[in-house]
Amino acid sequence: MAVTVNRATNDAFKHTKRILFKPFNFEKWLTLGLCAFLIGIGDCSNNNSGINWNTRGWPGRGGTGLAPATGINVNPNATTPGAVPPVANFDPTATPSIPVGGSEVTVPSTTTVTTIQTTTANHWFSFTDSPEFQNLLYHFKHHIPEILLYAALGLIGVGLLYLLLLWLSSRGYFMLLYGAQHNRPAVPTPWREYRSEGNSLMGFRFMVTAFAMAGSILLIVLCVTIAWPNIQTETWGTNATIALTIYIVIFFPAAVVFSIVDQLLKDFVVPTMYLKRVPVLSGWSIAWQKLIKPRGYSVVGFYAFKILLAIGAGMITAILVMMTCCIGALPFVSSVLTLPLLLFLRLYSICYIQQIGTEWRFFPIQGPTGFCDACGYNLTGNLTGVCPECGTFTSTPAFGHADLPAPPTTPPSTPPIG
């Protein structure tokens, strides 16, 4: 059977509609939304770095338009160094003067701004010469042990928090797949049943992230070391060019490689771990040998079309966020609101994989229903006529195999005791 992205897309759409809307179950929607939210907290990144970017010295930020605390007065009529009077007191026809070395230097009218900034580079925008930087450097030199201790504690805290998020996110992958496969809300059962696979996935993701961060830090240290002579002189020279070239040549290809690994992990390795009940390294080996390597061009087409699907999903998400006045962008709310999109993208890879063969089938070949009408449990292969999950009697032959007999038309009788 040919594996096509067109069939994967159609099947993913049909299963998404069946799971979420036939019939609509609010509890199931919230449960699957919770699973999608757990997945997201370990995948997404934001700009809340906690760094206070001080922009007081830049125009439009409540500042003067000068570097902070340079002590430079560009207005000869001002009495306070660094102060800029209201625009009404500024005389554009006056000959400007610049304080250099404690005395004012009158600038000829023919002197350009570029010449002024070049000849006074050590006094204009020189952050390293500012009192704030010198004070910071003094405290750093005299409190190195305390700073290193706090930095180590901070890194440990961040690492533990990230490990917790990865733990929840890794469990969320298997919880979402379980809920989609069985078409019912379930949290405790997949949480316990796929504990081993979830922990294995968490460990692998943490090691990859740690390796990427360590490599990034080493690359930055290398580039800064190479460019340090130009950094000290505040000029752009050969060393800075070499450092930037090394950074671009190494960083961007490495980022692409890590992105590919991350996508293959989510789309092929995790489903393999779920279906085969294997740890992450075995999942990589099986997925590579049986899913990815034999059909390389098809996998490329799979991701090319997935990019288009992701762009469309992103546009729909943006519209929903605007329609809800940004309420839809809140954590968990966004996962519940956009659950059809998130589930569809997850099932897209599942429906692609299950075309390869019966051993990769995620959803059963359905008869009239294929699932218990009461709880949604998968009844494929069940010959008793009773749902093993909830005990409901079913008379519908929903086993998906033509060679299997139909279930009994009446509930099985209980033999008398004694």
Query: Taking the complete model, does pTM exceed 0.75, yes or no?
Result: no
Question: How far is Cα of residue 8 from the mean position of the Cα atoms in its chain?
Answer: 24
Question: CA distances (Å), 83 to each of 98, 277, 295, in order?
Answer: 13, 69, 68
User: In this structure, are residues 219 and 250 in contact, taking their beta carbons and an 8 Å threshold?
Assistant: yes
What are the percentages of helix, strand and coil residues in the chain, rounded to 5? 60, 5, 35
CA–CA gap between residue 418 and residue 415 (Å, rounded) = 9
**Which amino acid is present at 251?**
F
Q: Show pLDDT as tens, one digit a residue, over the chain (418 residues).
A: 588 999 999 999 999 999 999 889 999 999 999 999 999 987 754 333 333 334 333 333 344 333 333 344 444 444 444 444 444 454 555 555 545 445 555 545 444 444 444 444 444 345 566 777 778 777 777 888 888 899 899 989 998 999 999 999 999 999 999 999 999 888 999 999 999 999 999 999 999 999 999 999 999 999 999 999 998 888 889 999 999 999 999 999 999 999 999 999 999 999 999 999 999 999 999 999 999 999 989 999 999 999 999 999 999 999 999 999 989 899 899 999 999 999 999 999 999 999 998 889 898 755 445 666 555 667 766 666 677 766 665 544 443 333 334 444 444 454 555 4
CA–CA gap between residue 42 and residue 196 (Å, rounded) = 18
CA–CA gap between residue 195 and residue 190 (Å, rounded) = 8
Residue 104 in 3-state DSSP? strand
- How many residues are there in the chain? 418
